[in-house]
Chain A
Amino acid sequence: MTRERTFRSEAIVLKRSDFGEADRLLTLFSREQGKLKAIAKGARKPQSRKTGHVELFMRSNFLFAKGHDLDIITQVEMVEAYAALRADLVRTTYASYAVELLDRFTVEHDKHLGLYQLLADALGWFAADEEMLLPARYYELRLLSLTGFQPQLFTCVSCAETIAEQDQFFSAELGGVLCPKCQTADRRAQPITAVALKVLRFLQTRPYDAVKQLHLRRPVHTELEHIMHTYLTHILERNLKSVDFLHRLRQEARP
């Protein structure tokens, strides 16, 4: 069987590091092949034809040449730069968060069109929306569903009874809501208010256009963020760098 020596794909730049004299090693999430690593030769030189098309978070059309270990980028043209992400530190941080989460939840060469579309959409929301918290929560829940970690929000994870509309508990370990009767099934389960649970269910089941219309009070946002971050760090078994960074930014913003 002959193997194609080149292939093309649209892809988003997740990570990049310096490589060799003037090259960049990129981690991309591509539409056709999922996550992959490729070298952009000479991309650190200002005259390079690739430089401005392979920056972080950019969505570009790539042409790759198959290499021994790493594929080599031979041509690239930007499709969407998400320029607003670069003009505001908070937006940059949320975009970093989206990219970091996707990177942690995926392995190389595992094509996933749904995830690709989700990331492209999310970068658009973080670039354009006024408010960052809702798109962040929506992105987390969709990412969890697409990667097989969808939290169970409609029935109790212990007794499988339908969850009533009242304050409940959320167990990161069991992956969903515990009813008050089963609370002891996970002693580290944290309380979740009826409002917060309702919002999570809404986010899990409705399209983003509907979610965007929501207006939540600050304490609900804080609660949701805390629950989602606890769940995500439980699954990933480590802290997320961009979350730590976000906390630092917030601390500094306080008078």
Chain B
Amino acid sequence: MANALPKPVQRLINEFARLPGIGPKSAARLTFYLLRVGDEQALELADALRDLVERTRFCSVCFNITEADPCELCSDPNRDDHLLCVVEEPLDVLAIERSRAFHGRYHVLHGAISPVEGVGPEDLRIEELLARVAQNRLQEIILATNPTLEGESTALYLQRRLGDAVPKLTRLARGLPVGGDLEYTDEITLGRALEGRQEL
């Protein structure tokens, strides 16, 4: 059977279908939506994609995604140079920024150590972190990797490598989420919440 779809349409469907979470049906739906919605919106999407590729890069200091190098967070003179927060992904920087509770600098590892998946330290921006620590007078490094097995493994590894290179090495507290329920909390989280309890 001959393919009833013109080549450009099929090509876009194929491209959409490569995105995570999008199956062939959704890909076709998105493509036909763009065909119908008019040239302007479709071209804007194309422009946005081109911009994304051409105008973003990794910040040479913190390895966050940025337009200007060094990134805004690294070049902001109002942030504390003595505090460094290490995160797994660029989206984690956004999450911490939203909390408005941290005013230091960041370092993005781009992943976490995973023996199961075969992701080792050399696959992450760890050497860059060590170099950064050696060059700067830091007072504290906050390991803000996820409280998952991979995140914990990464924190343990970093603890080993950073050793005495910094006066204070901390890990984000683990405990109960706001709006959570004790009854449904697992023992590990509850245990950690008890350990980290605070005097009122």
Q: Could you list which residues of chain A lie within 8 angstroms of chain B, going by C-beta atoms?
A: 15, 20, 46-47, 49, 51-53, 55-57, 78, 81, 83, 86-89, 92-93, 96-97, 99-100, 241-242, 244-246, 248, 252
Nearest-neighbour CB distance to chain A for B101, whole angstroms, equals 16
27 A–B contacts, CB within 8 A, in A order: A15-B116, A20-B21, A47-B179, A49-B181, A52-B187, A55-B149, A56-B116, A56-B149, A78-B186, A78-B188, A83-B188, A86-B152, A87-B156, A89-B153, A92-B153, A93-B115, A96-B116, A99-B116, A241-B115, A241-B116, A242-B115, A242-B116, A244-B120, A245-B115, A245-B120, A246-B115, A248-B121
Contact B186 A52 (CB under 8 A): yes
For chain B residues 105-128, which have a beta carbon within 8 Å of chain A? 113-118, 120-122
Checking B152, B156, B180 against A47 with a beta-carbon cut-off of 8 angstroms, the contacting residue is: B180
A149 vs B177: C-alpha distance when bound (angstroms): 47
B158-178, CB under 8 A of A: which get 1 and which 0? 001000000000000000011
Instruction: Point out the residues of chain A lying under 8 angstroms from B187, CB to CB.
Output: 52, 78, 81
How many residues does chain B have at the interface if contact means C-beta atoms less than 8 Å apart? Answer: 29
Closest to B178 in A: A47
**Minimum-distance CB pairs A-B, first 5:** A52-B186, A241-B118, A96-B115, A46-B177, A49-B184
Contact A92 B149 (CB under 8 A): yes
Nearest-neighbour CB distance to chain A for B197, whole angstroms, equals 18
Contact B152 A245 (CB under 8 A): no
Contact B177 A47 (CB under 8 A): yes
A251 vs B179: C-alpha distance when bound (angstroms): 45
The answer, yes or no, to whether B157 is at the interface (CB within 8 Å) is yes
Further contacts, 8 of them, CB under 8 A, given A53-B186, A242-B118? A46-B180, A49-B184, A78-B188, A81-B188, A83-B188, A87-B156, A241-B116, A246-B115
The answer, yes or no, to whether B3 is at the interface (CB within 8 Å) is no
Q: Could you list which residues of chain B lie within 8 angstroms of chain A, going by C-beta atoms?
A: 21, 113-118, 120-122, 148-149, 152-153, 156-157, 160, 177-181, 184-189, 191
Closest to B190 in A: A52
Nearest-neighbour CB distance to chain B for A99, whole angstroms, equals 7
A81 vs B187: C-alpha distance when bound (angstroms): 8
Nearest-neighbour CB distance to chain B for A56, whole angstroms, equals 4
Instruction: Point out the residues of chain A lying under 8 angstroms from B148, CB to CB.
Output: 55-56
A78 vs B190: C-alpha distance when bound (angstroms): 13
Nearest-neighbour CB distance to chain A for B153, whole angstroms, equals 5
A246 vs B116: C-alpha distance when bound (angstroms): 11
Closest to B176 in A: A46
A55 vs B178: C-alpha distance when bound (angstroms): 20
Instruction: Point out the residues of chain B lying under 8 angstroms from A87, CB to CB.
Output: 152, 156
Instruction: Point out the residues of chain A lying under 8 angstroms from B177, CB to CB.
Output: 46-47
A52 vs B182: C-alpha distance when bound (angstroms): 12
Contact A52 B185 (CB under 8 A): yes
A244 vs B116: C-alpha distance when bound (angstroms): 10
Contact B186 A89 (CB under 8 A): no
Closest to B150 in A: A56
A92 vs B120: C-alpha distance when bound (angstroms): 13
Checking B115, B117, B178, B185 against A92 with a beta-carbon cut-off of 8 angstroms, the contacting residue is: B115
Instruction: Point out the residues of chain A lying under 8 angstroms from B152, CB to CB.
Output: 86-87, 92
Closest to A92 in B: B153
Nearest-neighbour CB distance to chain A for B88, whole angstroms, equals 12
Contact B116 A100 (CB under 8 A): yes
Instruction: Point out the residues of chain A lying under 8 angstroms from B116, CB to CB.
Output: 15, 56, 96, 99-100, 241-242
Most buried by B among A20, A52, A78, A246: A52
